[in-house]
């Protein structure tokens, strides 16, 4: 027998464990853990992330309209949860974690080199559905990077090989 739920903490399993990085107009990098994300179109490739307005990253993404989605591995679990519990409002998380990064090729946001997959994105629209606590940012994929060892011979990402969180 099914029971109707009154509270739902997570409606879809698995939820992706991603790191979204951004850079403000003064050149300060920041990153946060993001579970609210999806690929929403293949051609052109478009992605969506949900960011809560109270997060330090929110005004940065809202203003610059750029971000990078980085896919961390199990090896980065500690850093991932650090980025998901500490705020760039209180500290420089890049410095605290000694994150190795490079400027994006198409966007002015940092690529986290320790993550095997990095997706450079430009925001084209956003909305806050109903009384959601997340603003949804819809973005085009401007450039995609993947560590060579995780690419199939056809040039796709071989997700089975990546030890995602
Ligand atoms: C597993 C996990 C998933 C998260 N998913 C999201 C998310 O989808 N959107 C969001 O705005 N915050 C999300 N957070 C919370 C932020 O990552 C967290 O509040 C972070 O400290 C915000 O950093 P900032 O203030 O430097 O932007 C998540 C945290 C964790 C641990």
Note the pLDDT tens digit of each residue in 29-68: 999 999 999 999 999 999 999 999 999 999 999 999 999 9
For residue 149, which of 161, 138, 135 has the smallest C-alpha distance?
161
pLDDT for 157: 97
Q: Which of 1-10, 68-77, 137-146, 149-158 has the lowest mean pLDDT?
A: 1-10
Copy the structure tokens of residue 6. 């009154």
Please say whether the beta carbons of 151 and 160 come within 8 A.
Answer: no
Q: Considering the domain boundaries, does residue 6 fall inside one?
A: no
User: What's the domain range around 51?
Assistant: 18-147
pLDDT for 113: 98
Question: How many domains are contained in the chain?
Answer: 1
Q: Considering the domain boundaries, does residue 161 fall inside one?
A: no
Q: Which atom of ligand 1 is nearest to 57's Cα?
A: 27
CA of 57 to the centre of ligand 1 (A): 9
> Cis ω on the peptide bond leading into residue 2 (within 30° of 0)?
no
Q: Considering the domain boundaries, does residue 155 fall inside one?
A: no
Task: Write the CATH number for 35.
Answer: 2.30.110.10
Q: Which residues line ligand 1 (CB under 6 A)?
A: 17, 30, 32-36, 50-52, 55-57, 81, 84-89, 134
pLDDT in tens, 65-101: 999 999 999 999 999 999 999 999 999 999 999 999 9
């Amino acid at each position: 027998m099914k029971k109707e739920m009154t509270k739902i903490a997570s409606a879809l399993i698995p939820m992706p464990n991603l790191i979204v990085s951004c850079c403000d107009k003064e050149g300060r990098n920041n990153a946060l853990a993001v579970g609210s994300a999806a690929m929403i179109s293949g051609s052109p490739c478009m992605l969506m992330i949900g960011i809560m307005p109270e997060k330090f990253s929110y005004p940065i993404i809202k203003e610059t309209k750029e971000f990078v989605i980085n896919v961390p591995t199990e090896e980065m679990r500690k850093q991932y949860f650090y980025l998901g519990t500490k705020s760039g409002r209180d500290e420089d998380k890049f410095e605290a974690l000694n994150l190795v990064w490079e400027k994006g090729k198409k966007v002015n946001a940092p690529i986290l080199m320790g993550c095997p997959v990095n997706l450079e994105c430009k925001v084209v629209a956003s909305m806050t559905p109903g009384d959601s606590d997340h603003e949804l940012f819809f973005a085009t994929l401007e450039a995609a990077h993947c560590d060579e060892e995780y690419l199939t011979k056809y040039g796709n990402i071989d997700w089975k090989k990546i030890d995602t969180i």
